[in-house]
Structure 1
Amino acid sequence: MAVTDPVDSRLLAALAELGKAAVHELAAKVGMDPREVAYRLVSLSGSGLPLLVGVESDPNGLRAALAGAPQQPPNQQVPQPGPQQRPPQPPSPVHGAPSGAYAVHGTPSAAYPVQGTPSAPYPVQGVPSGAYPVRQGPPPMARPPQGPPPRPQQPMRPPPPPPVDPVMSTWGPPQSASWARGDEQMPGAPKAPVPNRTGRTGDVLPSEGLEGEQLTVQLLEVQDPADFLFSAAGYRLEENERSVVVHTEVVNRGPIPFASLPDNFLELITADGKAIGKAPVSLTSRPPHKIGVQPGETAGGHTVYVLPESTRVVSVRWSPRPEPDERTITWAIED
């Protein structure tokens, strides 16, 4: 069959170059989402291409994950069919167990009741069903002690107060309101500064990766339109389409390496609030981002977008994951 989709053609060309690769490795090579790569590979495999999409696993790990499934008791005797009994049915697979395991016949469908066990708990003898009545009136007088009256003692000094537990002074006693609301800062305590997550073209904004990587991202340039760069790289736009090129730079300021593609979730935001993801193309004159940013390293690259010619772009958004969260940073594009 002939492959007409340019994205499928680029994906198959990269796979032909690698020969054999995992889905996430192939997705990183072509700069696409691994879920979209897996979907396209399965569709292409079913269309008759010489392509096999497989999956590998750790059998011991899978068995350990399924170890919590209910197991049938071993060494049960299989009853022999009598004249009025039906012959045993073929064994059926046990749900939740590894493939190939069968249920043991003769096991009861439910636990047998223990003989002599009451169906409901017995009430404790001698314990009243309700609260004890409160005794009305003054308490009874204590009996005077027998023997000679005690000698008058000198007044004792009160013992010094115990040292204050720093945990108790901060959080309050357990099971109290101050303990339950211990996440709130104490009155007068300085609040941590909230990092600025918005800016304009040229601003450097801080963010974090999924593993706690300390990053700063700078939006250097937004070239809109960039049709001549798109055509010079050998690509062709459809009617009423335009291309946009975004230049960003990522700095890893922490000790943890950033292992993802820096512009994997760099999106254009339109005037109606919709997000436009990057196109799976790269330009020869504007090199793309490479995977990974090591501690202390500065990595730059260009991201290409294809969108309708009439669409108005108002901002650029960067996030370490597909859905925006508290780590998402946004640059407003000046008109």
Structure 2
Amino acid sequence: MKQLLFILFLSVASIPTCNAINEAEDSLLWKDAEQKMESGQYEEAARLYDSISTKTFSNYKEINTHKVEDMRKTYSIDELELENNKQQNHLLRMILIYLLGLIIVSVFCVIYLKHQKKKLFHSQNALQKAKEAVEESIRNKSLFLSNMSHEIRTPLNALSGFSDILTTPGIDEATRIQCNEIIQLNSRLLLNLINDVVDISCLDVSNMKFNLKTCDAVSLCRNVVNTLEGIKQTQAAILFESSLHSLEIVTDTLRLQQVLINILVNATKFTKEGAITLKLEKEDAKEMAVFSVTDTGCGIPLEKQDKIFKRFEKANEKVQGTGLGLSISQLIIKRLGGDIWIDSQYSNGARFIFTHPLNQGEKP
């Protein structure tokens, strides 16, 4: 019995106490129970131990109840904090998604606006170019009418005036011959003006066909120089130079001859004395014939060299001509697969150079 009470005591003693007043009361009861045990009053001692045990378990239950309640409160607080954290995280996610969407939309808007701005810029450029083209066309039209009215009036006046002289009774034979020569000269001039206008309109047609065939460029150059030497209106000599005895090229003979005549006649207008030299060379590396016309005249100012191939452009407005010859020559040369330019390094007059392929890959 004593051993059982001792074991019960140990089990009760192992229960922790947290309240100081209860501990003091339990201590008194504990001493009283020990005295009862020593005096042999086991039942009374057992009753006291049972009382201590019951009280201890009651205190323990109360303490644990408070702890559990505290834990529940803590858990509730933690749940609230967790719920708040979840809501905050959800809110942050929504904000991030919104910001990401806003950034994507902003980037898209920026790209779209840049694209539209680029399109607008190109449209404005196209509109500006179209406007400039229209203005250029209007200027060319006005310039063409002005040039043609002046250029046509001069030979027509000569034809009219000297025709009247021919019909005058009693004129001598020398005067008649002189008037006839002047009429023939102005007739050719008028015909050339009309041919220039026809050429500049026909050469704009993209499907225009050239009559290509093989010819000797050396022989062609000699014939052109001999022809112009007989009808030139200048003291300058017209010469031909080439180290080649012959050079076969595939070309439109009449068109190539027209280009050479245009450039040489243009040189005679600005070269009063000295020499006008047509030179022909062969460029083996590119399979090209290279033509050049060099004169000792007044030359072309550098500021006008870039515009000299435009329609109705004239180096000197006082010199007779429509300003179409070089433009027509450029169109012909490009259609034949070559190129034409002014030698800006030559300063003793003017030098025009153009290339012509020896063979035509495709017909223009």
Q: TM-score, normalised by structure 2?
A: 0.21
Give the structure with the higher percent helix. 2
Larger Rg: 2
Give the structure with the higher percent strand. 1
Q: TM-score, normalised by structure 1?
A: 0.23
